[in-house]
Each structure stands twice: as C-alpha cells, then as structure tokens.
C-alpha cells in the first residue's frame, strides 16, 4: 500500500513549544504508513535538528517570515501551493498563525482534501491594536471553514475557539503536547539541590513571554533575598533590549544568561524553581517538562497554564503583569525547602500519560486515519 504523504507547515523553527512538538511528531510518525514532509522558513534555531531527522523531506522558504509582508506572503503562498501539487501531498497540517493561514489556503488551492491546524495559542491573544486583533479573528473564522479539524492543546484554546472562531464542537479535538519522558529523569533532590536556590526562566525573548516582566521579578526578589540565583535560557528579538535593561538595573550580575540551549533537560536539572511570565499561552512545553522533572513552577495564569499548575499545590500563579505576586511566589518557595519538596512531588503527580510523545503521536495518526477513511 502506498504511503500517505503528510506535510507539516510551520512559520519558523525557533526554539519554542510549537516547534519542538512539530519536530517530535515528525521524528516519531509511523514511517511504514506515512511519508513526512516539512515546509518552513529557511532560518531558525532548530533548522539543523530538523535536517537531522531521517526520511524527512524539507522545503525551506526564504520568503516565509513572521511579520506581515504582503509581497513575501503571496510568494510563499504560490510556492507552497506549487510544492504541494508537485509532491502529491494528501494531508496538510499547519502550525503557528502565519503558516496556519497561508498554508491552509495554499493546500485548499492545491486540491488537498484533508487540512488540519494545531492552535498553539490563538493569534488574537496578542497584545496588539484592536484592528489587528480583529483581522486575526476574521482570518481565523474564514480559514476554519476550509479546515477539516482544529487541534487544540488546552481547554482554554478550545473555549476561545468556540467563542470566537467556530461554534461547532465537532470541529475541534484536544491533543496536548507530548514530550520524550526519558529525556527528563526525576531527581530525588528536585527542588532542594543546594544552599543557593536557582530559579530558571526558559523562554524565547519575545513579547508573548514578557521577558521584561522577568527582570521586574528579579529586581523585586534581589532586593529581598541574596541567596537566590537566576538562570535564563533563551534568545529572541527582545534580547538586546533585555540585556540593556538588565545592565541598567544592575541585574546582569544576578542573572546567568545562557542564550539558546538545545538540551533543556540539562538546564532543568540545575533548577529548584521554574518561572514563566507569559502574557498569553497555548500550553507551555517548558512547564510540561518541569512537571516531568518534578520542579515547582511560578507562572502567570494565562492560556493552559492553570491546567498544569494548581495554585498552592505544585506552584504559584499570578495574573499577567503582576510581578509583585510572582516575586512573592519565588520568595516563598525559596525560603521553604519543605514546601519545595512538597510541590516537587505534586508536580510529578500532575504529569499525566497524555503528555507522553507516544500519546500525542498516536492521537494525531488516529485523527489522520479516521479522516482518510471517512
């Protein structure tokens, strides 16, 4: 029987949850049944990792960029449509907002019958002008009409989708991210690894993750407690601004800036607490990885974070932008070794089998198969 050709389309392979989940799917999808393709931008931190995946056909596009550029977006649309037709792709599965819109319409115009899209946090969550949010809402509503199924990673994304995008529950299926559990072994001393408490901020430096709020939290904590060390693993468009502000506040001596780190498990192994200051989210992979590693989390209550972190049980939650409460959560955990151990045990309990890569892969393959048969 001929293999089914499936193309995953994502805007850029930066070091983020959506990108890592997409590459994990491409790495594990059944090669006996499916022939995988990847269409993405020609630049991205995870480009080499994608290129190392065996039996994967990759089409890099230098015109596929995150920012809106009508000229380049149209070129990307025509290139993707032509490539899908040339390769005889049967299923298209898009990720991220830009590729999600362009990729689904290119698939439709290329005659692809089965079109899926994973929502990694709706694009109208962004802190932008009302007009831009309205554009995103209209585009998502219209494009949902040509989409076979919408995959959501959290209950919050499902709720917002039903409210704003498409009111048919049958249009959606929830499939959370899956990680390689073996890559995140639980340490018996999770949460109490030394006299100096280490707090990690693992995120891309972009508006969504609010890295400037991270600096505000550090400043508040640093003024109250000396035996806390901050570690930041990440990079992105806001890095120059973050570094300048850290230097201005005198925080560059309190924070170890590691830049992009390919081995997040190795970073987590050093940490006692994970801090996330996001202003909007889908389902943060770094928190799933933290649960698997048994690390307490202090985070903003946005997107699907509250599905992973229960306030006062395995971490502390605060409203977005509430740096005072985030700092209080860090200080409380840093001062109470027993509570860190208690939260660590609860984090491991919160980690569910559904966050396993095999569960995610099997659910998505089942989705493809049922759509192909129906």
Spans of all domains in the chain: 4-178+356-373, 181-352
| CA–CA distance, 329 with 221 (Å, rounded to integer) | 10
Q: What is the tens place of the pLDDT at every residue in 172-185?
A: 999 999 998 888 87
d(CA 295, CA 231): 14
| Cα–Cα distance, 14 to 19 (Å, whole number) | 7
Taken in order 299, 324, 230, 320, the sign of the CA dihedral is: positive
What does the pLDDT look like over 301-328, one tens digit per residue? 999 999 999 999 999 999 999 999 999 9
CA distances from 351 to 54, 67, 116, 262, 295 (A): 29, 35, 27, 22, 11
What single string gives the DSSP state of each residue in 70-83? HHHHHHHHHHHHHH
Confidence of residue 123 (pLDDT cuts 50, 70, 90): confident
- Provide the token pair at 245: 């502000």
pLDDT digits (tens, 9 = 90+) for 349-362: 888 777 989 999 99
Task: Note whether 4-178+356-373 and 181-352 share their fold.
Answer: yes
Per-residue pLDDT of 81-109, as tens digits, reads: 999 999 999 999 999 999 999 999 999 99
CA gap 154, 278 in Å, rounded: 16
Q: Distance between CA 277 and CA 324 in Å, rounded?
A: 12
β-pairing, 149-152 vs 172-174, is: parallel
Q: What is the pLDDT of residue 191?
A: 46
Average pLDDT over every residue of 162-171: 97
CATH 3.40.50.2000 fits 181-352, yes or no: yes
**Which CATH number, 3.40.50.2000, 3.40.309.10, 3.20.20.70, 3.40.50.2300, labels domain 4-178+356-373?**
3.40.50.2000
């Amino acid at each position: 029987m001929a293999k089914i050709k499936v193309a995953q389309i994502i805007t850029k392979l930066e070091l983020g949850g959506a990108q890592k989940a997409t590459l994990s799917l491409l790495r594990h999808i059944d090669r006996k049944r499916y022939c995988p393709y990847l269409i993405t931008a020609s630049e991205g931190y995870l480009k080499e990792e994608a290129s190392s995946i065996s039996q994967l056909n990759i089409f890099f596009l230098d015109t596929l960029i995150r920012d809106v550029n009508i000229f380049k977006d149209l070129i990307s649309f025509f290139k993707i449509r032509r490539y899908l037709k040339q390769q005889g792709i049967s299923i298209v599965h898009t990720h991220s907002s830009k590729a999600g819109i362009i990729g689904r319409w290119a698939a439709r115009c290329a005659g692809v019958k089965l079109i899926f899209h994973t929502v990694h946090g709706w694009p109208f969550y962004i802190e932008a002008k009302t007009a831009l949010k309205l554009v995103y809402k209209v585009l998502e509503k219209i494009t949902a009409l040509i989409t076979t199924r919408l995959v959501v990673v959290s209950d919050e994304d499902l709720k917002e989708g039903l409210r704003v995008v498409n009111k048919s529950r049958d249009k959606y299926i929830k499939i959370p991210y899956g990680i390689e559990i073996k890559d995140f072994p639980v340490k018996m001393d999770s949460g109490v690894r030394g006299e100096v408490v280490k707090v990690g901020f693992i995120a891309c430096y972009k508006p969504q993750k609010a890295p400037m709020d991270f600096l505000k939290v550090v400043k508040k904590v640093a003024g109250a407690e000396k035996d806390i060390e901050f570690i930041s693993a990440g990079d992105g468009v806001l890095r120059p601004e973050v570094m300048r502000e850290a230097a201005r506040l005198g925080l560059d001596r309190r924070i170890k800036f590691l830049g992009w780190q390919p081995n997040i498990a190795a970073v987590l192994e050093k940490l006692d607490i994970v801090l996330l200051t996001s202003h909007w989210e889908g389902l943060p992979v770094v928190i799933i990885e933290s649960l698997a590693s048994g690390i307490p989390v202090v985070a903003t209550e946005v997107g699907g974070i509250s599905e992973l972190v229960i306030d006062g049980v395995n971490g502390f939650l605060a409203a977005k932008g509430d740096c005072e409460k985030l700092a209080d959560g860090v200080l409380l955990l840093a001062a109470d070794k027993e509570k860190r151990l208690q939260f660590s045990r609860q984090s491991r309990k919160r980690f569910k089998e559904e966050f396993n890569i095999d569960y995610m892969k099997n659910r998505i393959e089942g989705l493809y198969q049922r759509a192909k048969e129906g």
